[in-house]
Structure 1
Amino acid sequence: MTRPLRVGIVGAGPAGIYAADLLTKDETLSACGTSVSIDILDKMPSPYGLVRYGVAPDHPRIKQIQGALHKILDKSQITFYGNVEYGVDLKLEDLHRHYDAVVFATGSDRDRPLDVPGVDLPGSHGASEFVFWYDSHPDVSPSWHVQGTSVAVIGAGNVAVDVARILAKDADDLLQTDITDNVYEGLRAKQVTDVHVFARRGIAQCKATPMELRELDKQPGVEVVVYPEDFDLDEGSLQACDDSNQVKTNVKVLQDWALRDERGEAKRLHLHFLHSPVEILGEDRVTGLRTERTELTGDGSVKGTGEFIDHEVQAVYRAIGYLGSPLAGLPFDESRGVVPNEAGRVLDLDDQPIEGVYATGWIKRGPVGLIGHTKGDALETVTNLVADRESLTPAPEPEPESFRDLLRERGVEYTTWEGWQRIEAREEELGAERGRKRLKMLTRDELTGAALQS
């Protein structure tokens, strides 16, 4: 192939961007004199995926990863197309027409379901709904009323910890972040005094990272409460402490919190372990949560004890994991929320690789691991894509202008990398007007308007 290898990547979050970066650096391609031309497509007008719309606004250290992603997207071999939705604006056959290979990096954007009675009651929320709201996702309602004085969060991972922290935090403490006015007003109006976090397993099985866990205890006016009766370490838990510094650190942090004297703060954030949710209570809306006490079985797993406890809460936030969404024209594993694949090669219904179609990130392996883990994941996918290059059917219309013509013919109001830089500049201007580093724009019209201005 004398022309550049044309690759389309669907999804401009870390997984897709890291895959693009690795393709530009691939030594196998360099050795044979093959260059690459990469288009990254995203349904949002902006890049960065959950780094922009899934990380709590009071985590600027994590959000700093945007700087590294910016440098990658600034490469000459990479072109960004925002506001382009796969399955709506484009089909798989369109991508095959313009690219030699397609990599899906669409992530996980749905809440894993919780199969208990009462889950559909008003006041029962999936964590993603709340996270997208406080991160000002343009496709969710700008309105959110945080109900009640006592609320429950189900889950023990980083998302659960983020949600609990935002529910407990004073809205004024977020005024130096990029939150929009509607989010500030919604959080300022809340009356929450007690946030209860429920984990089905024990302290050694807590999935939150030590950094996220410690953040809970750094909020003015908020006291973290841990219950000694919830502590248990079986043989599997002790082994986990020996095998993982993260587990050992989490256990030490939680034990220290359980043993200290109460400070008497106005707000409390309660961490409950060995509590499995069995029913969300209420008739017209949430009035409580029923949990079953669990006990460790020796290997870090748990079983029910038959002891049930009712907790009076007025809202429940379910943070038990995310799932990917089905992709038009591709098989989908609904139970795992992923595209079936073998080491990144997408498989058909007969478990055979679909030529020229790959996956990386959470849509490939499920929502496990931190942002940094997507680098190794992308390396596996890219390595296999490069290995397959000689057998790929060449795209009939590989010219970049041909793809742009297709978008124009279909009336797609796409944004570009230069347009995203205009969005950034405008958000920084809005922030400067308030004495802040940045203030997010809220709607698609605002975002695309800033991107498309001449």
Structure 2
Amino acid sequence: MLALEPSELDPTDTADHAISALKASAIRNVVISARRGAEDAAFTSPELRELPKLEHTNVIINRKDIDDAFARVGESIEKDTKSNLDAMALVTDKEATNHDRTLTFQFLATPIEIKGNGKVEEVIFKRTGTDETFSIKCGLVITAIGYEAASLEGIPYEKGRVVNVDGYVADNVYVVGWAKRGPSGVIGTNKSDAADVMNLLVSKLVQPKGKGDVSEIISHNKVVTQLHWQSINDAEIAAGEPLGKPRRKAVSREELLNLGAL
């Protein structure tokens, strides 16, 4: 997103405030840096195959990084790893252009220091497995160096995730996603994971002690039902149509509730 020409987002369903912020951004060069080699990258090949299609951005991957990755994994390479490396190789084959935006991938680079006076100005790296260092001048650092679920009092916690059996933690306590499995999978993985855990939750429901009418509680708390969601969905699509967008997203709770007639 940071390396895109923001006008490319105009016909998408990206929220208006996000597009405005990106258009005001001075960022032109983005470096994605990894401590390990290209063979360990957690991208998916469909994502990588979209990169050569960017119309206003140079995407730079060093072919040697890919060749070295193939050499390290050898004949034991897994299917997904090969697909990723093949996709990155396609990026290296793309002819260089004169675009004013660049997206560079660098591998085997371990960050050891961030320098700056009151702001980020430079990052010092070490070539992984060596004593060689180098630096990159920059004005923004975004970290993505692993994930650990937050530890909550009374909840069993081990090795960065909540201890569970298929999502079940204890009576009335369930967990989904990375907090359940650890940092793995994509959005689709978490969706199916959530569905499985909800089915488990429903299967463990017991007969409630009270038999009162819950409609007042639902109404008071403005619970969004499927019908309300459909109203929100229809309104977003209708708002996006004259703008040539698939939808114009509502982003505040108040606006969403209004669109849902709540």
TM over 0.5: yes
Instruction: Please state how far the C-alpha of 1:236 moved relative to its aligned partner.
Output: 5.7
Instruction: Please state how far the C-alpha of 1:259 moved relative to its aligned partner.
Output: 5.1
Q: How does 1:240-319 map to 2 (within 5 A)?
A: 241=77, 243-244=78-79, 246-258=80-92, 261-294=95-128, 304-319=129-144
Contact 1:204 1:240 in 2 (8 A): no
Q: Distance in 2 between matches of 1:383 and 1:438?
A: 31
1:195 to 30, 33, 48: 30
Match of 2:171, SS state, is: strand
Which residue of structure 1 lines up, in the alignment, with residue 261 of structure 2?
A: 452
Unaligned runs of 5+ in 2: none
Contact 1:240 1:247 in 2 (8 A): no
Kindly report the root-mean-square deviation, in angstroms, between the aligned alpha carbons of the 2 structures: 3.0
Match of 1:315, SS state, is: coil
Structure 2: which amino acid aligns with 1:314?
G
Q: Distance in 1 between matches of 2:20 and 2:201?
A: 48
Instruction: Please state how far the C-alpha of 1:431 moved relative to its aligned partner.
Output: 0.8
Q: 1:223 to 1:445 in 2, by over 3 A?
A: same
Q: How does 1:114-263 map to 2 (within 5 A)?
A: 166-231=1-66, 232-233=68-69, 237-239=73-75, 241=77, 243-244=78-79, 246-258=80-92, 261-263=95-97
Q: Distance in 2 between matches of 1:384 and 1:414?
A: 22
2:184 to 368, 389, 393: 368
Higher RCO (CA < 8 A, seq sep 6+): 1
Which residue of structure 2 lines up, in the alignment, with residue 129 of structure 1?
A: none
Structure 2: which amino acid aligns with 1:279?
E
Which residue of structure 2 lines up, in the alignment, with residue 106 of structure 1?
A: none
> C-alpha deviations, 1:354-403, integer Å up to 9, x for none?
235433333311231124434774687578668x85xx75431367x43x
Q: Distance in 1 between matches of 2:92 and 2:55?
A: 19
1:339 to 155, 158, 162: 162
Q: 1:413 to 1:380 in 2, by over 3 A?
A: closer
Q: Distance in 1 between matches of 2:198 and 2:260?
A: 31
Structure 1: which amino acid aligns with 2:74?
L
Q: Distance in 2 between matches of 1:248 and 1:396?
A: 56
> C-alpha deviations, 1:56-99, integer Å up to 9, x for none?
xxxxxxxxxxxxxxxxxxxxxxxxxxxxxxxxxxxxxxxxxxxx
Give me the TM-score of the superposition, normalised by structure 2: 0.84
Contact 1:205 1:237 in 2 (8 A): no
Contact 1:416 1:451 in 2 (8 A): no
1:395 aligned onto 2:218: no
Q: Number of residues paired by the alignment? A: 261
> C-alpha deviations, 1:238-260, integer Å up to 9, x for none?
2552x22x211221232343355
> C-alpha deviations, 1:229-278, integer Å up to 9, x for none?
5342377622552x22x211221232343355423332221110111122
Q: 1:278 to 1:217 in 2, by over 3 A?
A: same
Q: 1:187 to 1:356 in 2, by over 3 A?
A: closer
Match of 2:132, SS state, is: strand
Q: Distance in 2 between matches of 1:237 and 1:215?
A: 25
Contact 1:289 1:312 in 2 (8 A): yes
Instruction: Please state how far the C-alpha of 1:197 moved relative to its aligned partner.
Output: 0.8
Match of 2:236, SS state, is: helix
Structure 1: which amino acid aligns with 2:139?
Q
> C-alpha deviations, 1:284-338, integer Å up to 9, x for none?
11112111111xxxxxxxxx312221100111122334454566x75053851x3
Structure 1: which amino acid aligns with 2:96?
E
Unaligned runs of 5+ in 1: 1-165, 295-303, 347-353
Q: Distance in 2 between matches of 1:383 and 1:440?
A: 30
Match of 2:12, SS state, is: coil
Which residue of structure 2 lines up, in the alignment, with residue 320 of structure 1?
A: 145
Q: Distance in 2 between matches of 1:342 and 1:424?
A: 35
Contact 2:11 2:245 in 1 (8 A): yes
Give me the TM-score of the superposition, normalised by structure 1: 0.51
Instruction: Please state how far the C-alpha of 1:425 moved relative to its aligned partner.
Output: 1.7
